[in-house]
Amino acid sequence: MIERRETRQIHVGSVPVGGGSEVTVQSMTTTKTADVDGTLAQVYALAGAGADIVRITCNDVAAAQGLAEIVPRSPVPIVADIHFQYRLALAALEAGVHALRLNPGNIRNEAHIKEVARAAGERRVPIRIGVNGGSLDKDLLAKYGSAVPEALVESAQTEIRYLEDVGFHDIKISVKHSHVPSMVESYRQLSERVEYPLHLGVTEAGPPPGGLIKSVAGIATLLLEGIGDTIRFSLTADPVEEAKAGRQLLEYLGLRERAGLDLIACPSCGRAEVDVIEVAGEAQRRLEEAEMPIQVAVMGCVVNGPGEAREADIGIAAGRGKGHLFIKGQVVRVVPEDEMVDALLDEAQKLIEEGVDARLAAADRMAEQLAAETAEELLQIQGDVNRSQERRARVAQIVEE
């Protein structure tokens, strides 16, 4: 169980952030904000993919005007992303946004920042201090020589003081960096200095798969340490992929209840009776289309498959032209190999509708016996195809030498 760091709680619209509330997922639209219908379509897509909060750029007057139409029609709270022009922050507040994101690297005038804070305070709208390693204040770069963690943390603390000076405390903070170790260290240092909720992200992570790997490396490391209250994957990709990835990460870490499919599959080996990659791909595509929030296992053979994947809600294992359906490790049906995925979807739907106990009670009483006979038949035909006994003997010999 992850022991999470205690933070103050703020609210972005109706969504709590920090203070023990569940970790939330954010993403950002890529449309022109002035395109109200196009932007709303993307907001709805992001919400459907698991985003709890969506950020939208407010980079000109037309964008601010677009926000005035978008916000009341959005299914999730909207954060206005502000750069350089503090008056656009004031305009976004007038448009009704639920939060602001200010970058200390490009809004440097203390009086302007405090004016925005006062206006946000009057409307009870929180502000994210969005420090970014790629747009750090030039004075801090001169002081530290580069965008080191200490520089990012100092930038955040300076901005915090500006807001606190006018009695503003509805704050969350990010100290993003494109270099994963620097990002992790920045958040670690900041978490020791402030009680405000933290927004995690690896900035400019790039396209998948590299961008996903970098984001998971940084964000998951911190979440496992109990640091972080809301997250965003910054990918060079469709933002829907960001929301999906963020949601899945939280589910895999046990920080959010599973809302989508979790498909596990064996890597295949010499005993596999089917093309595991092909079967797993088809199963994942069809189960995702059916929006089934369960854990499903696709295993290459019946010899070890049901036992190895016994924690899965449901699974399929191949064996001599047959598919062996199992629930929590117990084989419940045997079907022809070419019907494996169809049967898996059918049984998964029944499992969701009726529950585990009911489906185990309805199991084919001959299924487990058939699975055991098939497994024994494979062992007789194939022998020790993975050379397990030979390797065990060799391991023991090495230790004894």
All structural domains of the chain with their residue ranges: 10-252, 262-382
8 Å CB contact between 76 and 270: no
User: What averages of pLDDT result for each successive group of 10 residues across the chain (401 residues)?
Assistant: 94 97 97 94 92 96 95 95 94 96 92 97 97 91 96 97 98 98 98 98 96 98 98 96 96 90 78 80 92 88 80 86 88 90 93 92 84 77 68 69 63
Q: Which residues contact 116 (CB under 8 A, 6 or more apart)?
A: 86, 89, 90, 93, 100, 102, 127
Q: Do domains 10-252 and 262-382 have the same CATH topology?
A: no
Q: Smallest Cα–Cα separation from 265: which of 229, 236, 301?
A: 301
Q: Round to whole Å and give the CA distance between 161 and 164.
A: 5
The CA dihedral of 141, 144, 145, 146, to the nearest 10 degrees, is: -70
What is the pLDDT, as a whole number, of residue 321?
81
Note whether 89 and 116 are within 8 A (CB): yes
> At the top level of CATH, which class does the domain 262-382 belong to?
alpha beta
The dotted CATH code for 10-252 is 3.20.20.20
What is the model's pLDDT at position 395?
66
Pair of tokens at residue 132: 């970014």
Kindly state the tokens that stand for 326.
């199992």
Q: Are 101 and 57 in contact (CB under 8 A)?
A: no
Question: 297 forms bridges with which residues in the sheet?
Answer: 264, 315
Would you state the pLDDT for residue 220? 98
Residue 164: its pLDDT value, please?
A: 98
Model pLDDT, residue 196: 98
CA–CA–CA angle 214, 216, 219 (5° rounding): 105
Amino acid at 92: A
How far is the CA of 277 from the CAs of 24, 51, 288, in angstroms?
32, 29, 16
